[in-house]
A and B are shown apart, each in its own frame.
Chain A
Amino acid sequence: MSGVFGILNIGKSGIEANEAGLSTAGQNISNVNTPGYTVEDVQFDQSLPNDGRPGMVGDGVRATGIRRVVNSFLDAQMIRQKTRMGFWESSRLSLSELDTYFSHAQNEGLAKDISRFLNGWEIVANHPLDRSARATLVTYGKNLSEDFHQMASLYSQSRNHLGELVTSSVKTVNIDLKKIARLNREILQAQAGGESPNTLIDQRQQLMGKISTLTNAHFFSDKNGAITLHLGGQAAITDIDSGSLEAVFDPSRDGYRILIHPPGHSGPPVDITDRIHGGKIGGYLDVRDKKITALEAHLNALAHGIVNHVNARHVQGYGLNGKTNLNFFLPTVTVHPDGGNSSGIRVTANAVDPDLAKTSLDVSVSGDKVMITDGRSGKTLASQNLSGGVQTITVSGYVIRVSGSQKGAAARFQVSGGDDTRGAALSMGVNNLDPEDLAAGQSAVREGQNQGDNKNAHLLFGLLQDRLHFAGGEQPVTFHDFFATGVSEIGSWARNARDHYVAQSMIQKGLENQRMTVSGVSIANESARIIQFEKAYQASANLIHMTNRLLDTLVRLPNESS
């Protein structure tokens, strides 16, 4: 349009455009503290010019759109870092909980009770006739067992709790996947209608960040602006449809498996557990199914070692009442007599080198002769005679003690489970012993004979310093050194997680700051823009006023001329 009305139009376009600018600036200011808000900017363009005299005349301004001021690279970086942040945050929290189990471990707890129990043997050695010293030692053994039960329970509770967290995190991911799919649909619809759905895009960005915090997700943007998401190499969201995750406990692996049902997939779900290595879910799985599993194995190996090494020494000694071949702790090795146990022969077996004690053994006693053969191949491994009704044979990682007198046919026993440390901590317990059964003596004891013999008690005390074999251990070490490796491991994991979390927090903060310099709301900037748009609005309004006066003048012209 040209002429006066053209000028009026130009003024009107200016008011409308600057009104959009003021509105956008206002929107920015009101969202200054909204997390994840991206600052918006109005895009202005000239209206198409009109043909006229003296030439093409502009037709004012129009607001062509409101764009989000964003750096896509920074946004993508932030989302990636959220995955790492989530992983270290969940690891830090769960490992620090485990770390507190060992609070003051150097002065209290398992280490102290191991020392107290083994020192107790020296007290019995110095006072072999003192029943109360013996009873106290049995109590120390029970306390030690209780410590192991408690630690095993704490680990089990932690794993259960982490399992619940995995399940609830997976549920959260599923809810967010659905939300993103819905937002995808709405954004596509809005864009098809020529709208700029900035708020919806911001919401979707927030959800993408949430999912990245929970797991290592890969986001791709297609040409239409829809976001597709891949989890563990499988599609979790297509442009408008979403799949779902499932957390399933697998008893055969004693761990959680993460399965995905991709959108539109009708077959069985796909196991992506091995590809989940980031985010909180990755952190929980790492701690639950790897680190705590390793700690449990270590605790079981320690319990197994204490039970078997103490028992192996104890069975060779004699109590005040002359009894021998009694285990102090409930044994972990199974000794199964063939056809009941009417032979009068007693066999105990303890695995002092679990890595060697992998095969089962057959023990047969015929007369005075004891023969031990490999349970699978039948190869003879050892053969000795009973001496004084007893014999101790160390073979294939086992210490086997035979005592008694045989009545009738040859007695046969199967020995197995020497290398099985599973559940050793939880099942550790003291045998039902009378204090007089404690085997302090090394040679045969009878009423009034040799009851002051205390050499076996000294040897049991010596276990405190002896280097011994543990399951999975590379070299023989003492009880305390083996315990210390577990404590050091949890300590370095906790410390590592803490340090990584701090480092990641700083990286995250740096990225957030960088993002905010681009996409954050600066009140000073917006205030300046408000002034700018306000002045432009006023100028456009003045133009309209002026045009109004021109029109007044034109309208009055015929009256003035007559």
Chain B
Amino acid sequence: MIRVTGLMTNREVIASHDQATDNLYDVDRQISSGKKFETPGDAPERMGESLRINRNLSVTGRIVENAREGASRLQLMESILDQIGSLLIRAKGMAIRMANDTMTAEDRRVGAQEMTRTLEQMVSLANTKAGEQYLFSGTNVTLPPFHFTDPVVDPGSVIYQGNHNHATVQQGFSPRQREAGLMPVTEAGDRILGNSATDPLGDKPFPVMRRFLLALLANDQPGVSRSIDDLDRTIHSVTERAAVLGTRERAIRTTVNRLEKYTISQKSLKSQNEDVDIPKAVSKLALNQNFLALSTKASRDILRNTQNVLFS
């Protein structure tokens, strides 16, 4: 037979009440915060998992922002090249007209004036900035990539003052993809549009336009005729280049979609790890409230009966 003393009974009653209150508090805290844990001690393994997920989300979020930034620049560059292509088509039309035997020196001189304005438009487009950076100057982003030389000495001559490096955005998600993930978002302009000073006989737009212009000014009908083919070739190369940029831009957008799906899955994982299942928690709360009520009632009954037996 076990002796049960008054002190034992009192302590047991209080301990049961404390335990029930403790459980209730724990569930209440989870419901109010919506989180399964607040400190590492609540769930060390979940905290470690959350840290890992958050790092992935941080990196992914950054890559997605980079991708959007890169895509908008590539889109702008593609659009510029498209516009330059349109101007070159107009120039080709002019070349076809000016190659006609019926054109006089005066007609060709007027044509040269119009082509000079067309060339100025092309240079202006090539010198477009995205934010504070020139797009077609490689990494010499503070300098306009193209400018005219002295029009009296060398009319129609456009020279390049950028370099041949690329500013890049990071698309590589892991260290292994680091190098491959660097997507160029500036171009070396002379590789697309040419440099009249260093490559006067080249087949890129600016040297071609310069030769066309000089032929018009010199009333050189064979020279004008040759420009038709040159312009045709250069239109194709610019269009091709624009298409490459467009393809790159669409590839980036695919990456963005993929990464956005990955972000959603990571967030879902994070939620499963951290967030309380509210309906379950509310049920648990109701259960613990009942336990507390029962515990209190039982305690009251025990104490009353003890009193009655001993002191009545």
Contacts and interface: CB of A to CB of B under 8 A. Distances in A.
B178 A462 contact: yes
Interface stretch (A99-107, A225-233, A409-417, A428-436): A99-107
B151 interface: no
Interface in A280-312: none
A27 interface: no
A388 to B, nearest CB: 16
A102 B54 contact: no
Nearest to A518: B3
Contacts of B137: 452
Which of B7, B40, B65 gathers the greatest number of chain A CB atoms within 10 Å?
Answer: B40
A527 interface: yes
A517 B4 contact: yes
B140 A105 contact: no
Contact of B163 (A112, A125, A128, A450): A450
A492 B47 CA distance: 11
Nearest to A495: B41
Interface in B28-76: 38-45, 47-48, 50-55, 58-59, 61-62, 65-66, 69
A119 interface: yes
Given A107-B54, A458-B182, A484-B51, A452 B141 contact: yes
A17 B53 CA distance: 79
Q: How large is the interface on A (under 10, 10 to 19, 20 to 34, 35 or more residues)?
A: 35 or more
A538 interface: no
Interface string A441-461: 101000011111111001001
A509 B19 CA distance: 13
Nearest to B163: A450
Interface string B129-146: 001110001111111000
A353 interface: no
A495 B52 CA distance: 21
A491 B40 contact: yes
A494 B41 contact: yes
Contacts of B133: 127-129, 452
A102 B39 contact: yes
Contacts of A135: none
Contact of A522 (B5, B12, B47, B167): B5
B221 interface: no
A448 B40 contact: no
B295 interface: no
Given A96-B41, A453-B165, A119 B58 contact: yes
A559 interface: no
A99 B42 CA distance: 9
A257 to B, nearest CB: 29
A483 B58 CA distance: 16
Given A524-B309, A527-B310, A488 B54 contact: no
A498 B10 CA distance: 25
Contacts of A130: 131-132
A202 B178 CA distance: 74
A126 B141 CA distance: 12
Contacts of B12: 513
Interface in A172-188: none
Nearest to A455: B168
Contacts of A488: 40, 44-45, 47-48
Contacts of B165: 443, 450, 452-453
A453 B139 contact: yes
B52 A465 contact: no
B170 interface: yes
A70 interface: no
A395 to B, nearest CB: 23
Given A106-B274, A450-B163, A491 B51 contact: no
B6 A33 contact: yes
Contacts of A448: 140, 142-143
B110 interface: no
Nearest to A498: B41
Interface in A498-526: 498, 509, 512-513, 516-518, 520-525
A95 B39 CA distance: 11
A458 B3 contact: no
A104 B38 contact: yes
A200 interface: no
B58 A522 contact: no
B62 A451 contact: no
Contact of A129 (B52, B54, B58, B132): B132
A115 interface: yes
A32 B47 contact: no
A490 interface: yes
A453 to B, nearest CB: 4
A207 interface: no
A491 B47 contact: yes
Contact of B7 (A100, A521, A524): A521
Contacts of A493: 41
Given A103-B38, A129-B141, A451-B140, A517 B2 contact: yes
A102 B40 contact: yes
Given A102-B39, A452-B138, A520 B3 contact: yes
A83 B2 CA distance: 27
Given A450-B163, A452-B138, A516-B7, A119 B62 contact: yes
The 9 closest A-B pairs by CB, nearest first: A491-B40, A494-B41, A491-B44, A452-B141, A520-B5, A106-B50, A452-B139, A115-B58, A99-B41
9 contacts: A106-B54, A106-B274, A111-B51, A126-B69, A452-B142, A461-B62, A462-B175, A488-B45, A524-B309
Interface of B: 2-8, 10-12, 15, 38-45, 47-48, 50-55, 58-59, 61-62, 65-66, 69, 131-133, 137-143, 163, 165, 167-170, 174-175, 178, 182, 186, 274, 306, 309-310
Interface of A: 32-33, 95-96, 99-100, 102-107, 111-112, 115, 119, 122, 125-130, 441, 443, 448-455, 458, 461-462, 464-467, 478, 480-481, 483-484, 487-488, 490-495, 498, 509, 512-513, 516-518, 520-525, 527
